[in-house]
Amino acid sequence: MLEVEVKYRANLGKVRERVLAFGFSPRGVSEEVDTYFQHPCRDFAATDEALRVRVSGRSAVLTYKGPRVGAGAKTRVEVSTSAEPTIVELLERLGFVKVAVVKKRREYYEGLGVLVSLDEVEGLGEFVEIEKVVAREEDILGAVEEVRRIASLLGLVEEVRETYLELALKRAANKA
Give me the domain span that covers residue 109: 2-175
Half-sphere exposure of 137 (CA within 13 A, CB side): 6
| This prediction's pTM | 0.89
Q: Which residues are catalytic?
A: 36
The domain spanning residue 24 has which CATH number?
Answer: 2.40.320.10
Per the structure, how many domains does the chain have? 1
* Ordered per-residue pLDDT tens for the chain, 176 residues: 788 899 999 999 999 999 999 999 999 999 999 999 999 999 999 999 999 999 999 999 999 998 988 666 778 888 999 999 899 999 999 999 999 999 999 999 999 999 999 999 999 999 999 999 988 888 888 999 999 999 999 999 999 999 999 999 999 888 87
